[in-house]
Amino acid sequence: MPRVVLVNPQIPPNTGNIARTCAATNTELHLVGPLGFELSDRYLKRAGLDYWPHVKLHYHLDLVQFQAYHQQQKGRLLGFSVRGKSCYGDCKFQEDDWLVFGSESEGLPLTFQEQCDQMLYIPMPHPKIRSLNLSVSVAVGLFEALRQLDQLH
């Protein structure tokens, strides 16, 4: 089952919405600090509704701690960025992939992007629109991965 990773998320409702999506799809959610909020934030909890007990949540203090954890696991790191090199729809997802998203304001750190097996983008046909909301981007990427892996039943 693919996993979702948020690196330095800043906006509590986005993370809450993503947690809800992860709960609904039975997907692990990895939060990599520093976070722009406390895990007890009421807006975070509100966006996740009463689904928090169903979230397979992992917290890593920073990228170094996450990278050490990832090295003990299997799977490709698939970064999502407006500057990605491949369209997410062209990616052949695998069950042990890690879908990695950066903060709302900064995206993924460039040094981390270099460590990703692939950098993906979600097409933006409108020339004046740079990106989607983080929670929407996660849903788009995750549901495509689950669709390809026939895990939406």
List the binding residues for S-adenosyl-L-methionine: 102, 122, 131
- Give the Cα separation of 108 and 100 in Å (integer): 8
Beta-carbon contacts of residue 90 (< 8 Å; ≥ 6 apart): none
Bind-site residues: 102, 122, 131
